Structure 1
Amino acid sequence: MNDDAGTTRVLIIGLGDLGQRLLHMLVGEHGSPYEVVVAARSGERALRFANLGRYTAANLGRVTSVGSAEIDLEDVDRTAETLAGIRPDIVVNAASLQAARAILDLPDKTFRELDEAQLGPWLPMHLALNHRLMLALRRAGSAALAVNTAYPDAVGPALASIGLAPHIGIGNVGNIVPALTFAAALELDRDPASVRVRVVAHHYFSHHVHRYGEADGVPYVIEVSDAVTGEILRPRPERMFAHLTGPLKRQGGTKGQQLTSASALQVVRALTSNEERRLHAPAPHGRVGGYPVAVSAAGIRLDLPAGLTEQAAVAVNEECQRIDGIDAVHPGGRIVFAKESMSVMQRLLGYDCPEMLVEDALPLARELSDKYTEFAERQARADVVAR
């Protein structure tokens, strides 16, 4: 808690779609206990969105303070100085060098070809700014809780390998559990509020099952129980998954970011709660993939299904991470990519990176960005000619 304000000071870095949505959710909270500060590379942009947040809250009958700051995460020293001045209790990093599903803008056939690489090879785009932020927090001597929104399932363990892991991530497993809860209730003919679902799963599972309604060959663990008694219930997972492309199909893409921002709000609420709240989140304390967790102001702990050890849960997510394009994360920050995934990147983009060090994330992200931009422009020209 911030001594000056008597409230929790939440710094949101990055004002893309997700950062904007989270801002409005936080200032719209009834009796909001949050003092929000928003930051972007452009101080003027941050100021405009801070004022938008204040005015939106005012239209809802709530007078609240929203601060603004200019932060360029690539400049670690200046970021550290700014962080020392703001003294946030929680830092939500919503900044990345490329949106996770940016390739959706490609022509459909091209998107499908490039999507075969999965998300793993794009890790530098999501890791680079998180790495710089965690360096800045350390340099500032900040005790702020770090919440990562950018590919946390893989960014968390990558940074953990050099002792710089954010405390927790958002989205991914946290996005699919609500749908799986409704699916379990549908299969059991019960009220969704009476069903509790606990899931251990990597980003790839969340992305794949949401899109295809099946998990053939994809590792995961699911436990369904009575929310009150804890009695284990046994709906068939494959039937649950099928509902996600049927009656429980949801809007995805950028328009589906409302679900991700709700996951972020849930995590922030839990981190400021005196009582433990059970939820799902990726990369708690830098672990690979997503887990059921119990979170409060006192800390973050795993809340695994009965009989499942932490070692077994991590193994499930490591196996799934390989399918997502990352073979292994080694101590000292060495990440090895799956050959099949990188071969797609090499063939289509001319980008070949069999392995990387965390410290090289920023230059690799710039190289990958340049190659992707060239590729996307070629595809756009070819699409125009084809018409």
Structure 2
Amino acid sequence: MEPKRIMLIGLGHVGAHVLDMILRTHLTHKILVAGRNQQYLHQRTNLSALSAIQLGFYPDVNYIELDVQNIEQTAHTISVFKPDIIFSSVSLQSWWVITKLPKPVFESLDEAQLGPWLPMHLTLVYKLMQAVKQTGLNIKVINASYPDVVNPILNKVGLSPTIGIGNVANVIPGLRSSIALKLDKSLEDVEIRLFAHHYVSHRLSHLGNAGGAPFHLTALVNGENLTKFLDLNTVFELLTTKFKRLGGLDGMLITAASATTVINAMANNTGKIIHAPAPNGLPGGYPVRVNAQGGEVILPDDLTLDKAIHLNEEGQRFDGIDKIEEDGTVYFTDKEMNIMKYMLGYECRKMTLLESEDIANTLRIKYIEFAKKYR
């Protein structure tokens, strides 16, 4: 297979894990790592590369300084490297930052869900996609930053990344393990097809329930649908007991594993069926067949694509996003935004794409002021 050119933009916790994983392969893809801190990029890229060599792999990897805030510079860098695939994990503030607050404070603020923090995740991806469009190249972009919502917003203006990672995918290994145990079947023989928004996958992993949000799950054993033999409540409960895992920063490992699965499936054109959020700019999460072109939604017999989209749109309301207009304007839900107003003194009921950066800056300042009280 002809080697692909893969560009990783952002080398935070997820990006660094992904770099470690994709370098540990005998495939000869050319990797370019991009980010703002040149010294860190140099040393962290070397750490991944030298660790891979220690394990018997010899990756083709380099790094370059890049600030996604500068659209022209980003477009130029992309044009020179000419990547087949870009994996982006850029964000103005990672979702896990609030987990560092004292536990009672974090738990109260976490009730606002992820939706109100959208400007932090949307702003840089919007700039990146403008840069990609400016190159005129046919590049597949994999987005790690709240793709369930960011991708469909950008899809409204013709700038959606190709597919997302994490979220719905992160709960799949635990669900497969739980179902295999409940049905007394070999884990390797168990597959599932889950349609669910970030809100659902997050709650399943942490609380063992969907919190009233809609989802659609099919359990297959050697291709046979055995869902009717399962009590899903007891399946979900196992995610918080026997199959409970670390979350927060430590939990980024499973997100990176999802990203690596998507990157490998696209780079190697495998057609593998996995789970991913926002294929082709759709809201929420889906089972998808991934090849070089991206992800194709795999539907069970009892679910149409329209119904799958609808249940994900319902799910996003639980996450604090009321609706997305045809021009990309976002309306936030009152319940979740009221928590942000009460705790941070921050309020945003409606946001256009062009307002995202200014609103993100306002939110960042409000959060910094709030967090100072607990240092």
Tell me whether the two structures share a fold, i.e. TM-score over 0.5: yes
| Aligned equivalent of 2:15 | 19
Q: 1:231: Cα distance to partner?
A: 6.1
**Aligned Cα root-mean-square deviation (Å):** 1.4
Q: Provide the C-alpha distance between the structure 1 equivalents of 2:260 and 2:303, rounded to a whole number of angstroms.
A: 28
| Aligned equivalent of 2:193 | 198
Unaligned runs of at least 5 residues, structure 1: 381-387
Q: Which amino acid aligns with 2:319?
A: D
Please say if 1:311 is aligned against 2:309: no
Q: Deviations over 1:220-255 (max 9, x none)?
A: 110011234556653111111011111111111111
| Aligned equivalent of 1:107 | 102
Q: Which amino acid aligns with 2:210?
A: A
| Aligned equivalent of 1:223 | 218
SS in 1 for 2:373: helix
Normalising by structure 2, we get a TM-score of 0.97
Q: Deviations over 1:102-153 (max 9, x none)?
A: 1111111211211111100000000011000000000111211100011111
More moved, 120-129 vs 40-49: 40-49
Please say if 1:363 is aligned against 2:353: no
Aligned residue runs from structure 1 range 79-158, under 5 A: 79-158=74-153
Q: 1:45: Cα distance to partner?
A: 2.5
Normalising by structure 1, we get a TM-score of 0.94
| Aligned equivalent of 1:286 | 281
Q: Provide the C-alpha distance between the structure 2 equivalents of 1:161 and 1:138, rounded to a whole number of angstroms.
A: 15
Please say if 1:184 is aligned against 2:194: no
SS in 2 for 1:72: coil
Q: Provide the C-alpha distance between the structure 2 equivalents of 1:192 and 1:233, rounded to a whole number of angstroms.
A: 18
| Aligned equivalent of 1:383 | none
Q: Provide the C-alpha distance between the structure 2 equivalents of 1:69 and 1:119, rounded to a whole number of angstroms.
A: 31
Q: Which amino acid aligns with 1:291?
A: Y
| Aligned equivalent of 1:8 | 4
More moved, 220-229 vs 167-176: 220-229
Q: 1:42: Cα distance to partner?
A: 2.3
SS in 1 for 2:309: helix
**CA 1:87/1:234 → structure 2, altered by over 3 Å: closer, same or farther?**
same
| Aligned equivalent of 1:175 | 170
SS in 1 for 2:209: coil
Kept in 1, the 8 Å contact 2:176–2:192? The answer is yes
SS in 2 for 1:244: helix
Q: 1:275: Cα distance to partner?
A: 3.5
Q: Provide the C-alpha distance between the structure 1 equivalents of 2:78 and 2:59, rounded to a whole number of angstroms.
A: 21
Q: In the comparison of the two structures, how many residue pairs are matched?
A: 375
Q: Provide the C-alpha distance between the structure 2 equivalents of 1:261 and 1:215, rounded to a whole number of angstroms.
A: 23
SS in 2 for 1:38: strand
| Aligned equivalent of 1:268 | 263
Aligned residue runs from structure 1 range 236-247, under 5 A: 236-247=231-242
Please say if 1:164 is aligned against 2:166: no
Kept in 1, the 8 Å contact 2:93–2:120? The answer is yes
Q: Provide the C-alpha distance between the structure 1 equivalents of 2:29 and 2:149, rounded to a whole number of angstroms.
A: 29
Q: Provide the C-alpha distance between the structure 1 equivalents of 2:164 and 2:211, rounded to a whole number of angstroms.
A: 26
| Aligned equivalent of 1:331 | 326
Q: Which amino acid aligns with 1:171?
A: G
**CA 1:298/1:362 → structure 2, altered by over 3 Å: closer, same or farther?**
closer
Q: 1:51: Cα distance to partner?
A: 2.1
Unaligned runs of at least 5 residues, structure 2: none
Q: Provide the C-alpha distance between the structure 2 equivalents of 1:27 and 1:234, rounded to a whole number of angstroms.
A: 41
Q: Provide the C-alpha distance between the structure 2 equivalents of 1:217 and 1:300, rounded to a whole number of angstroms.
A: 28
Q: Provide the C-alpha distance between the structure 2 equivalents of 1:136 and 1:316, rounded to a whole number of angstroms.
A: 32
> What percentage of residue pairs aligned between the two structures are identical?
39
Q: Which amino acid aligns with 2:100?
A: D
SS in 2 for 1:255: coil
Q: 1:378: Cα distance to partner?
A: 1.7
Q: Which amino acid aligns with 1:188?
A: L
Kept in 2, the 8 Å contact 1:37–1:50? The answer is no
Kept in 2, the 8 Å contact 1:38–1:66? The answer is yes
Kept in 1, the 8 Å contact 2:201–2:210? The answer is no
Q: 1:344: Cα distance to partner?
A: 0.9
SS in 1 for 2:18: helix
**CA 1:376/1:274 → structure 2, altered by over 3 Å: closer, same or farther?**
closer
| Aligned equivalent of 1:297 | 292
Please say if 1:253 is aligned against 2:248: yes
Kept in 1, the 8 Å contact 2:28–2:60? The answer is no
| Aligned equivalent of 1:37 | 32
Q: Which amino acid aligns with 1:249?
A: K
Q: Which amino acid aligns with 1:309?
A: T
More moved, 43-52 vs 304-313: 43-52
Q: 1:351: Cα distance to partner?
A: 0.9
SS in 2 for 1:33: coil
Q: Deviations over 1:15-55 (max 9, x none)?
A: 111111111111112x1232111011123332222222221
Kept in 2, the 8 Å contact 1:10–1:37? The answer is yes
Q: Provide the C-alpha distance between the structure 1 equivalents of 2:229 and 2:87, rounded to a whole number of angstroms.
A: 37
| Aligned equivalent of 2:205 | 210
